[in-house]
Amino acid sequence: MGDCRRVGVAVDFSPFSQKALKWAVDNICRSGDHLILVNVRPEGNYEEGEMQLWEATGSPLIPLIEFSDPVIMKKYGVNPDPETLDIVSTASRQKEIIVLMKIFWGDAREKICESIDNIPLDCIVVGNRGLGKLKRVIMGSVSNYVVNNATCPVTVVKSHD
């Protein structure tokens, strides 16, 4: 991939991950970069399709044209929302960046950190759901885990709802 940067954004197609994605596009991405959407699906019992094939290593890098296709994404059990697709399609055209997606299965905290070395990424942007202190203690904050365990720079885009 030469001297291009690989900017990762953790996406779960929620308003929080859309905000993080938009922030990354507006503030980090520049022409020639690879914008890599990291999506983590819950572990499950997958009998068929791409999921069983890629469960251990994550999917191959999926180009924008393919992850814009609902038929292809159904094989992975992923349904990207129109807003996310709009953000990356526009960024791809206007900023001349290459947009890819990689899907992992398992614990989001661990898989996001794994993706940094696996892809590899130069930096990662994650959204923050703004859980209260108690919920964060009980559920564990994905962004907090990534900040403390990632092997690259991490940006947490906070939600102010």
Instruction: Tell me the CATH number at 121.
Output: 3.40.50.620
Residue 159 has pLDDT above 80, yes or no: no
Residue 24 has pLDDT above 90, yes or no: yes
Given a contact cutoff of 8 angstroms between Cβ atoms, the answer to whether 102 and 38 are in contact is yes
Q: What is the pLDDT of residue 112?
A: 96
Domain count, the chain: 1
Instruction: Let me know if residue 1 belongs to a domain.
Output: no
pLDDT tens profile 25-66 = 999 999 999 999 999 998 766 555 566 667 778 899 999 999
Instruction: Let me know if residue 133 belongs to a domain.
Output: yes
Q: List Cβ<8 Å contacts ≥24 apart for 25-29.
A: 25/87, 25/88, 25/91, 25/95, 28/123, 28/125, 28/155, 29/91, 29/95, 29/97
Instruction: Let me know if residue 154 belongs to a domain.
Output: yes
Q: Write down the pTM of the prediction.
A: 0.88
Q: What is the pLDDT of residue 1?
A: 43
User: Residue 73's domain spans which residues?
Assistant: 6-158
